[in-house]
Amino acid sequence: MDIQFTEEQELLRSSVQRLLRNQYDFDARRKIVASEDGLSRKQWGAFAEFGLLAAPFSEDVGGLGGGPLSTMIIMQEFGRHLVVEPFMETVVLAGGLIAQAGSDAQKRGFIPDIIAGTKIWALAWAEKGSRFDLAAVTTTARRDGGDYVLSGEKAAVIAAPWADYLIVSARISSSRDDRGGVSLFVVDRRAANLHLQSFKTIDGRRAAEVSLNNARGQLLGREGEGVAALEACRDRAIGALCAEAVGAIGELNSATLDYSKTRKQFGTTIGSFQVLQHRMVDMFIAHQEALSLMQHLNLSISAGEAGVSRLASGAKSKIGYAGKFVADQAVQLHGGMGMTDELNIGHYFKRISSINIQFGDPAYHLLRYARLDTAA
Amino acid sequence: MELALSPEDAAFRDEVRAFIAGNYPAEMRVPNPETDLSKEQMLLWHRILHKKGWIAPLWPKEYGGPGWSITRRFIFEQETTRAGTLPPLAFSVTMVGPVIYTFGNEAQKKKFLPRILSGEDWWCQGYSEPGSGSDLATVRTKAVRDGDHYIVNGHKTWTTLAQHADWIFCLVRTDPTAKPQSGISFVLIDMKSPGVTVRPIITIDGSHEVNDVFLENVRVPVENLIGEENKGWTYAKFLLGNERTSMAGIGRSTRYIERLKKIVKAEIPEDDPAHLEFVRDIARVELDVLALEATELRVVAQMARGIDPGPAASLFKIRGTEIFQNITELTHRATGNYGLAIREHPVSANHFMPGPDYGHTASEKYLNSRKLSIYGGSNEIQRNIIAKAVLGL
């Protein structure tokens, strides 16, 4: 099931690698995370210039037509470098939703600015108590002239403090949990009656609690189709997050292997201890399996295969547990150094912890994988 | 589960319980005492226990201990941890104190022990170095005799709360030609000595608990040598034995499980399938605690009858730390999307923290507890100890 990458795809990978190697080493990242804004607009501009923000979009909206496989390539490299800029939120989540559900006018209006790197987006789907249920929405939307006005609270919206626009899920009718009552809306982040309370995330990003009190927004897609759109969006997001996780896992493994060959205790390198050798073999196997499953998932997403949503949940679970195992062991094998803020190991650990929360933890997706089988 | 107690011991337990309830300072009840309290605040409970005569359960009566039996020491440990009190600084009371009264001379006992009991001196531990983590015998910090002083040069690391310390007890190499374990001495160094520099190490939870300590041409009076020169390894091992005794952490794990149950109840509706998963996971870890607690009680009962527990401490360390890591992980998972947030350090009310109060320390506890399987002799080392000492491998 190994992917034969096209020349274009190989070119994309090597250009992302070159860009990040030159401009996004661990020290550069540390400075970005510690800065007032918490992201680098300059880097974001460079991503646009290199065509990364255009890569997955189809040509008819100004993209390069690379689809989910180009997202996969980019995200895997971003995972290796712990990139904090909101490619996932802007391009994969919002860009994907606009391309999938937006009107022609919305596509023409919004996507070019995403591609040019001039507008950043965030997706506000979660609420207090919703956990990972996309349909558990209590925020309301009411039609008012050609627009809608939204009221409610959205929780833990990653990248919201950086964003120019938010996509917000809200309920037009009926009760909480009713799938058919939810729609998506585009809201200007600087709109009146929209308020943000920002906070830092464990992996060095910025997020916010968003409260809307009759804030104006425009409908994205059709009324009542919000949950279905979000579900397809989540599948793509999982494909991207799994690629990012695999990138991080690979880096953790090679750093741990290098360390075990140089760190000496009891007169020899710790890599000569059999118990640690077996541990690292298991880490290697976890990486190989995660890589294969991640590629399989993204190929299926790319081909639009039926049953991809179940596969996405399966991959999110399996790769989530693999990432957790590798991250735990990488910290353990680095000893005290693995606990420090100074070394990159702990930062990979935190990014993997965060990936394992975004759009549902491994236990949630294990169950979803099982249940979708019963339903079939 | 409880030890079968005599009426006198049961009365003692009630007395301890009542004393904690009546005297534990309210201002020490903060979200995370290890990182949120100032030095003065940390010492409040220490001083109260000192006044009561309960500060050093381990110590013999002649040096200021309460003269408790093994059973009473265990009861005290159990009651204080169950109540979630911040234990007195282990480096002072549990570690260096016993080394001083066991191996120190009269002058050292007279000088240091009362100040440890009163909390006047804060001690930190100068064991680990960048090149010697679990393999302590490779200590490279050098002490060279110069008249009635040693000149000490070296770099200690992972030094917990050195930023507050008045004194550091150090392993130093006094005979570079001897075998690794035979050339080490145990010296006490005043942190105010010229040449001592403390540099913070920030850990992955963002907090400042540990430090690098640099020693550059530090002059240490020879009178601060404990026991004999080049015999430090014996004292160090004695001290490590104490470090590992109380790592089962039953009281703490029990409290955290209760909290976890409340969080799950508040966060996850019973008809959500995730609820059943959490119920199962919690039950599993509760049984882990129960089995470890039963083991601890069995060992305590044996010790009370004079039976040497052997390397039971390694078993407690392995299982106690694995259990607590598991609990903090489940707690982090239970907070759902808010597991993404983490408090900023130093903690201040100016920083916004989203979500319910009970989740505010979930991320930092989860991250911070990764250290447990590493420090105090990594869990791999503990398994080696059991393999060798118990299984004869």
Question: CATH 1.10.540.10 region(s) of chain A?
Answer: 7-119
Contact flag A331-B370 (C-beta cutoff 8 Å): yes
List the single residue in A with minimal CA-CA distance to B340.
A201
Q: Is the pLDDT of residue A28 over 90?
A: yes
Question: CATH 2.40.110.10 region(s) of chain A?
Answer: 122-224
CATH of A228-375, one of 1.20.140.10, 3.40.50.300, 3.40.50.12780, 3.40.50.1110: 1.20.140.10
Contact flag B272-A367 (C-beta cutoff 8 Å): no
State mean pLDDT over A120-149.
95
Residue B187 CA to residue B139 CA, distance in Å, equals 13
Residue A67 CA to residue A87 CA, distance in Å, equals 14
List the single residue in B with minimal CA-CA distance to A128.
B355
Q: Is the pLDDT of residue B312 over 90?
A: no
Chain A interface test: which of B134, B135, B201, B204 (most A C-beta within 10 Å)? B204
Lowest mean pLDDT among A167-171, A182-186, A262-266, B51-55: A262-266
Q: Is the pLDDT of residue B242 over 80?
A: no
State yes or no: cis peptide before B346, omega within 30 of 0: yes
State mean pLDDT over A48-74.
97
Provide the pLDDT for residue B244: 52
**Which member of A126, A339, A364 has the closest CB to residue B204?**
A339
Contact flag A340-B201 (C-beta cutoff 8 Å): yes
ipTM metric = 0.91
Provide the pLDDT for residue A374: 65
A-B contacts (CB, under 8 Å): 126
Mind listing the pLDDT tens digit for each residue in B258-287? 999 999 999 999 998 889 999 999 999 999
Q: Is the dihedral of CA B222, B106, B306, B73 positive or negative?
A: negative
Q: Is the pLDDT of residue B199 over 60?
A: yes
Strand partners, B203: A340
List the single residue in B with minimal CA-CA distance to A203.
B340
Contact B372, B321 (CB under 8 A): yes
Residue A95 CA to residue A18 CA, distance in Å, equals 25
Residue A304 CA to residue A232 CA, distance in Å, equals 10
Provide the pLDDT for residue B300: 85
Mind listing the pLDDT tens digit for each residue in B362-379? 999 999 999 999 998 899
In this structure, what are the phi and psi dihedrals at residue B71, rounded to the nearest 5 degrees?
-60, -45
Confidence of residue B97 (pLDDT cuts 50, 70, 90): very high
Residues in CB range of B263: below 8 A, 6 or more apart: B331, B334, B335, B358, B359, B362
First CA to last CA across chain B, in angstroms? Answer: 34
What DSSP character marks residue B91? I
Chain A interface test: which of B138, B140, B340, B393 (most A C-beta within 10 Å)? B340
Task: Report the SS3 class of residue B327.
Answer: helix
Contact B210, B158 (CB under 8 A): yes
Confidence of residue B132 (pLDDT cuts 50, 70, 90): confident
Q: Which fold has domain A7-119?
A: Butyryl-Coa Dehydrogenase, subunit A; domain 1 (1.10.540)
Mind listing the pLDDT tens digit for each residue in A142-177? 999 989 999 999 999 999 999 999 999 999 976 666
SS3 content of chain A, % helix, strand, coil (to 5): 55, 15, 25
Contact B129, B140 (CB under 8 A): yes
**Burial tier of B142 (Cβ tally within 10 Å: 0-12, 13-18, 19+):** middle
Contact A335, B378 (CB under 8 A): yes
Question: CATH 1.20.140.10 region(s) of chain A?
Answer: 228-375
Q: Is the pLDDT of residue A280 over 90?
A: yes
State mean pLDDT over B200-207.
96
Helix (H) or strand (E) holding A79: helix A67-81
Provide the pLDDT for residue A370: 92
DSSP string, A224-290: T-HHHHHHHHHHHHHHHHHHHHHHHHHHHHHHHHHHHHH-EETTEEGGGSHHHHHHHHHHHHHHHHH
Q: Is the dihedral of CA A210, A214, A216, A222 positive or negative?
A: positive
CA distances from B290 to A91, A355, B92, B249, B297 (A): 50, 33, 31, 12, 10
Residue A365 CA to residue A312 CA, distance in Å, equals 8
Q: Is the pLDDT of residue B189 over 60?
A: yes
Q: Is the pLDDT of residue B1 over 70?
A: no
Whole-model pTM over 0.90: yes
Strands B149-156 and B184-190: unpaired
Contact flag B344-A200 (C-beta cutoff 8 Å): yes
Helix (H) or strand (E) holding B70: helix B70-82
State mean pLDDT over B166-175.
97
Contact flag A346-B204 (C-beta cutoff 8 Å): yes
Lowest mean pLDDT among B70-79, B284-293, B341-350, B357-366: B341-350
Contact B64, B117 (CB under 8 A): yes
In this structure, what are the phi and psi dihedrals at residue B273, rounded to the nearest 5 degrees?
-55, -25
Of A152, A136, A232, A234, give the one whose Cα is nearest residue A185.
Answer: A152
Of B259, B308, B315, B261, give the one whose Cα is nearest residue B288.
Answer: B315
Strand partners, B145: B150
Contact flag B370-A200 (C-beta cutoff 8 Å): no
Mind listing the pLDDT tens digit for each residue in B16-38? 999 999 999 999 999 888 889 99
Q: Is the pLDDT of residue B203 over 90?
A: yes
CA distances from A119 to A56, A211, A320, B72, B326 (A): 17, 21, 31, 67, 41
List the single residue in B with minimal CA-CA distance to A348.
B204
Of A48, A49, A88, give the one whose Cα is nearest residue A72.
Answer: A88
Q: Nearest CA of chain A to the CA of B336: how many Å?
A: 6
Q: Is the pLDDT of residue B228 over 60?
A: yes
Provide the pLDDT for residue A177: 64
- Provide the residue type at A15 as one letter: S
Of A264, A244, A224, A237, give the one whose Cα is nearest residue A359.
Answer: A237
List the single residue in B with minimal CA-CA distance to A206.
B341
- Which structural domains are found in chain B, ordered by start? 7-88 (no CATH), 123-228 (2.40.110.10), 244-389 (1.20.140.10)
Residue A234 CA to residue B354 CA, distance in Å, equals 24
Confidence of residue A367 (pLDDT cuts 50, 70, 90): very high
Residue A304 CA to residue A301 CA, distance in Å, equals 5
Q: Which fold has domain A122-224?
A: Butyryl-CoA Dehydrogenase, subunit A; domain 2 (2.40.110)
SS3 content of chain B, % helix, strand, coil (to 5): 55, 15, 35
Strands A165-171 and A182-188: antiparallel
Contact B92, B122 (CB under 8 A): yes
Token pair 């949950």: residue: A227
